[in-house]
Amino acid sequence: MLVLALMSLQACGGAAARSAPPSHDRPVPATEARAEVQLQLELEQRAGCEEDFDLALYQDPGIELIDWKEPFGACKARQVTIRYLPGRISKDALLHRVKQLAPKVEVR
């Protein structure tokens, strides 16, 4: 009886939870405007500095792609292009967020 009750709860509640994927899992229409900004960053010198930056910035659904240039794994004088969705995040808001994550930011 308990198993039947649990299965019923899972069937009812599970469908509602799966009906709308999180915004990062939804495809962005090809017609939605995109923009890019090229930056030179100085990240904190530590293992995984690129990955930490990526994970923090990708929390915003307006960020579509972060494209690092070589040398990979380095934290100083890093060249990066960030593609974003201006309808979801402004360039100013994006730069403000980047400046919170990187001690030095230069727009190229």
Instruction: Write the CATH number for 64.
Output: 3.30.70.100
Beta bridge partner(s), residue 105: 41
Confirm whether 45 is domain-assigned: yes
Decide if 8 contacts 1 (C-beta within 8 A): no
For residue 21, is it within any domain?
no
pLDDT at 75: 92
Residue 14 lies in a domain: no
Q: Does some domain include residue 20?
A: no
Q: Is 94 helix (H, G, I), strand (E, B) or coil?
A: helix
| Ranges of the chain with pLDDT below 50 | 6, 9
Q: Could you identify the residue written with the tokens 């969705």? A: 85
In a domain, 62, yes or no: yes
pLDDT of the residue at 70: 84
The single residue listed with the structure tokens 């201006």 is 86
- Answer whether residue 11 is part of any domain: no
Whether the full predicted model's pTM is greater than 0.85, yes or no, is no
Asked whether residue 5 is domain-assigned, the answer is no
Overall number of domains in the chain: 1
Query: What range does the domain containing 78 cover?
Result: 31-107
pLDDT for 26 equals: 77
